Amino acid sequence: MRGNLTIILCAFFFSFGVAFSQTDTPLTFSEIMFSPQSSNNEFIELYNLSETESIDLDGYKIIYSTSNADIISSAGFGTVLQPKSFAVILEGDYDFISGIYNNLIPLDALILKISDNSFGTSGMANTSDRQLWLLKQNGDTLETYTYSANNSSAISDEKIVINKDNSSNNWENSLLTNGTPGRKNSVTPLNNDLSFSSLSIYPEVPISGDNVQITASIKNKGINTAQSFSTEIYNDINFDSSGSQQELIFTQSFLNLLPGDSTTINAFINSATEGNYQLMGEISFSEDEDTLNNKKIIQFIVYPPGNIYNDIIVNEIMYAPSSGEPEWIELYNKTDSPINLKKWSLSDNSTTVSITGTGGLIQSKSFVILSRDSSILNFYPVPVEIIVFNLPALNNTGDVIVIRDSLSVLIDSLSYLPEWGGNSGKSLERISSEESSNLQSNWGTSPSINKATPGMINSITPKDFDLKISSFSPENDFGIIGEKINFTIQVSNPGLNNSGNFIVKIFRDINTDSVAQQNEQMGEIPGSSILSGDSIRVHFQTADFIKGNNYFIVYIETGTDQDTTNNFAFAKLIGVTINEVRNDLVINEFMYAPGSPEPEWIEIFNRSNKIIDINNYQVAD
């Protein structure tokens, strides 16, 4: 029992020492290869930060995670690590004759190995973060580091700045396959290194006559302050990627750019002319150790004047059509000129597609229909061009519609919801072409009797000239045969202008086909101008109806009307024959308190000279 207790205590104190007791040392972890491209190729790299002290690493230990310690030993090259030098610790069964690192490790690096064939029990994990410790021969902890297992195969963890900082902010994935064993890390900055980090223009798609702003960013990626340098920007007219004095459009000198800092410069090409451009930015820094990142080149095109936002708008959307009907979108050209939709694009919230690659012309102040197929013609008499293409499926729960021209300039966009309207086979119509596309109050369900108005002025849009039958009804649902009944017709003017004179025509739909025919006309009532937004009531009387259901049609006829779909209205009247009148039948006697077992009863007396059938008569209290 005592022996077991001793073992437990030793393990406790050993773990305590690893976790909390750390001895000062110039040694530090500098690179970890835990996910090599093949077996037996894991390595751990150390660096001696001392300017003067050499360190004999024989017998030092590496602990991986919860495994037993691996002992560091000679690989045939000694065990003494010189000042400011790297040591690469390889697995015991690494191929020291033809291994993959033999041509990567420089001669001045110390090559070591561990006493067994793998770090830990079976190598380092490459799918989860694990902790490493470096220990002296006596078990004192010198270094600890937890690597992040987010590396691709053959990509090591490298320390950025070689110092004692082992926080995750000072480590990055190597930029090189197989890492940098025994030499400067690929992520470690140079002493002196300026980088032309960005070169851009605004607007991104310039149009002839625009002032093009050039923005450049210079970053000091080096360890030292860049004390003196200059930056030049060239309009590389001959596209030879070499700036000349004649092409120079900007130059500026700078002093004392601190490590990690950036500076931004701006230049301009005023009133840019149409054509292709190549800009070149260049840094002049005599102390730069990496001149490959001192130049930045971009190309762009200055286009001729093109379309602007809302030249064309989304005007109507059928996103929840009736069975068999395709989804479709109507566009409207607000400009005074035709516009070619060649290479324009349409996007929803997940897909971008080209509208047409061959060209589709939308005339001035006119419409075009975008549809997945031409079967829309089975549902509407579309009077404008239909462009058939791979229209993205429009979600009934809401979607995004974005229109861009051939230069990817945003022309119109909106994000609709079902609350806006347009469902159950009815389209979503835009009210005003001048109001915002993203304003819910500018959209609504089509009130058209056709449920949509593809290729025509929207039924919900105020017209310049538009008379409408707002209501049409008889004074009662029933009319007595042989007696006249009054009908009321309300005529309103939702148009933007005062109306002209008009005629209200009344028809009795004898054949019940809902079509007003000349032989069914009962009469007509002339009317004079109605103010915009106003309405009037027109009355007429008729006894021209039969027993049972009678159907009537009223129609407005006027000189100018941009929406004739609301010029009709329908009414129903039930004709009845009245045989008896009030007091033909009277209550003559009733028993309300009979003796048992007599029932209660009422006596009805017929005072008239007529025979009256009381079938279906009702008695109420």
CATH architecture under which domain 468-576 falls: Sandwich (2.60)
Where do we find the tokens 């032309």?
196
- Out of 3.40.50.720, 3.20.20.210, 1.10.3720.10, 2.60.40.1260, which CATH number does the structure's domain 312-445 have? 2.60.40.1260
The backbone torsions φ and ψ at residue 277, rounded to the nearest 5 degrees and listed phi first, read -130, 150
Integer Cα distance of 136 and 134 in angstroms: 7
pLDDT at 3: 38
Q: Do residues 88 and 42 lie in contact, with contact meaning Cβ atoms separated by under 8 Å?
A: no
Peptide bond into 203 cis (omega under 30): yes
pLDDT at 469: 96
Length of the chain: 621
Quick one: residue 562, left, alpha or beta (phi over 0 = left, psi -120 to 50 = alpha)?
alpha
pLDDT at 303: 82
Residues 6+ apart with CB under 8 A from 151: 34, 35, 126, 157, 173, 174
Q: Do residues 547 and 576 lie in contact, with contact meaning Cβ atoms separated by under 8 Å?
A: yes
Quick one: residue 386, left, alpha or beta (phi over 0 = left, psi -120 to 50 = alpha)?
beta
Q: State the pTM of this model.
A: 0.46
Give the residue from 567, 546, 575, 562 showing the smallest Cα distance to 489.
567
Give the residue from 220, 80, 61 showing the smallest Cα distance to 142.
61
C-alpha distance from residue 341 to each of 362, 368, 370, 403 (Å) = 7, 10, 11, 10
Integer Cα distance of 131 and 127 in angstroms: 13
pLDDT at 22: 61
Give the residue from 463, 470, 462 showing the smallest Cα distance to 442.
462
The backbone torsions φ and ψ at residue 27, rounded to the nearest 5 degrees and listed phi first, read -80, 145
Integer Cα distance of 235 and 248 in angstroms: 6
Integer Cα distance of 120 and 106 in angstroms: 27
Please state the domain extents for the chain.
16-173, 194-302, 312-445, 468-576
Which residues of the chain are under the pLDDT cut of 70? 1-23
Give the residue from 268, 246, 265, 253 showing the smallest Cα distance to 196.
265
DSSP SS3 for 169 = helix
Which structure tokens are listed for 24?
């000062």
Residues 6+ apart with CB under 8 A from 8: none
Examine domains 16-173 and 194-302 and report if their fold is the same. yes
Q: Do residues 436 and 314 lie in contact, with contact meaning Cβ atoms separated by under 8 Å?
A: no
Which structure tokens are listed for 449?
């009797």
C-alpha 248, offset from chain centre: 41
Q: Do residues 263 and 252 lie in contact, with contact meaning Cβ atoms separated by under 8 Å?
A: no
SS (H, E, C) 61-85: EEEECCCCCEEEEECCCCCEECCCC
pLDDT at 5: 31
Give the residue from 306, 302, 265 showing the smallest Cα distance to 283.
265
Query: Which amino acid is it at 417?
Result: L
Q: Dihedral (C-alpha) 345, 346, 347, 353: value to the nearest 10 degrees?
A: -60
Task: Encode 63-91: b = buried (16+ Cβ within 10 Å), e = exposed.
Answer: bbbeeebbbbbebebebebbeebbbbbbb
pLDDT at 179: 97
pLDDT at 187: 93
Integer Cα distance of 162 and 272 in angstroms: 49
Which structure tokens are listed for 344?
């324009």
* Strand partners of residue 585: 606
The topology (CATH level 3) of 194-302 is Immunoglobulin-like (2.60.40)
Digit-coded pLDDT (tens) for 382-415? 999 999 999 999 999 999 999 999 888 899 999 9
Peptide bond into 597 cis (omega under 30): yes
Query: Which amino acid is it at 600?
Result: E
C-alpha distance from residue 467 to each of 79, 457, 505, 514, 618 (Å) = 101, 15, 14, 20, 46
The topology (CATH level 3) of 16-173 is Immunoglobulin-like (2.60.40)
